[in-house]
Amino acid sequence: MQNFDVFFYYSFSCSILLTYGIGLEKAFFDSRPDSRFIARAPGILAEMILSVVAVYLLDTRVLFHPDFRVLVPMSTVFVCALVQTLVSLVNPSGMRDISTGERIFYFGTVFLAVSEGGSLPDALIIAVASVIAFYCASILLFSVRQRIASATVPVDWKGAPLILASMGLLAIVMHSADISWWIQEVYR
C-alpha cells in the first residue's frame, strides 16, 4: 500500500512536471501532432531505470560514506550520459534525435528520484511514476491541441497562450487529488 501511495503521489498529486517543473517544455513540444513521443517511451523508461539503479548505488555505497556529497551532481550527469550512450549503442535509431529538453527531463528525473527516494525501490517507483505523469500530461495536451485546431478561437489565443492556460488547468486538476474528500476516504 505504501508503494502505491508513493506511486500515486508522484504520478498525480506531486508530479515531477507540475510541482518541480521538470519536463514542462518537453511536454509542450512533444504534444505537437508530428512528435514521436510515444515511440520514445521504452527507451526513456529503460534509460531511467538503469540510471536510477546506477546513480543510487554509486551515491549510497561510495559517495555518501566518505562524504563526497558535493560530487553527486557531477556523478549523476556523468552516469546518465554514460547510460544514454550505452542505450544508444543498443538502439541507435531510437536515440538519434535526443533533444536538450529530453536530457533535462531525464537528468532531472534521475536526480529527483535518487534524492527523494528513501530506498532503491522508492527511487525506482518515483522515476517510473514521473515518466507516467509526463506521458499522461503529454497525451492530455495532445488532445487539447487537436481540439484547438478544429475549434474557432481568437487568433491571439491560438498556440502558446491557450496551451499554457490548459497546462494551468491541468495543474489544478492534478493537485485536486490532494484535497478531494473521496480520495481521502479511499485511503482511509
Partner 1 sequence: MKKITVVFLFALCPLIPVSARFAYGLILAVAMCWYLVAGILVRELVKRLDIGATGPTIELVSLALSATAFYLALSAYSPVNSVSLGLYIFITAFSYLILLGIDTFSPDDAVAVPLLQVVPVLLFFSALREILGFGTISLPVPDGLRLIEILPGFSGYGLGFWGTTGGALILLSFLAWTIKYLHRRIATFRRNL
Report the alpha-carbon distance of residue 143 to residue 134 in Å, rounded.
Answer: 14
CA distances to 31, 46, 98, 169, 179 from 104, in Å: 17, 16, 11, 24, 30
Q: Which of 1, 39, 70, 151 binds partner 1 (CB under 8 A)?
A: 70
The set of residues, in sequence order, having a beta carbon less than 8 Å from that of 115 and lying 6+ positions away, is none
Q: Which of 39, 151, 172, 179 binds partner 1 (CB under 8 A)?
A: 172
* Residue 12 engages partner 1 in binding (rule: CB under 8 A): no
Cell of 120: 532503491
Q: Which of 32, 42, 57, 73 binds partner 1 (CB under 8 A)?
A: 73
* Residue 95, number of CB atoms within 10 A of its CB: 16
Q: Which of 1, 160, 179, 186 binds partner 1 (CB under 8 A)?
A: 160
* Residue 142 engages partner 1 in binding (rule: CB under 8 A): no
**Residues 36-65 as x/- pattern, contact with partner 1 by CB under 8 A:** ------------------------------
Report the alpha-carbon distance of residue 47 to residue 43 in Å, rounded.
Answer: 6
The single-letter code of the amino acid at 110 is V
Contact stretch for partner 1 (CB under 8 A) within 20-28, 57-65, 117-125, 137-145:
20-28
Contact 145, 25 (CB under 8 A): no
* Residue 153 engages partner 1 in binding (rule: CB under 8 A): no
Which residues contact partner 1 (rule: CB under 8 A)? Answer: 18-25, 28, 70, 73-74, 76-78, 81, 99-101, 103-104, 107-108, 111-112, 115, 155-157, 159-165, 167-169, 171-172, 175
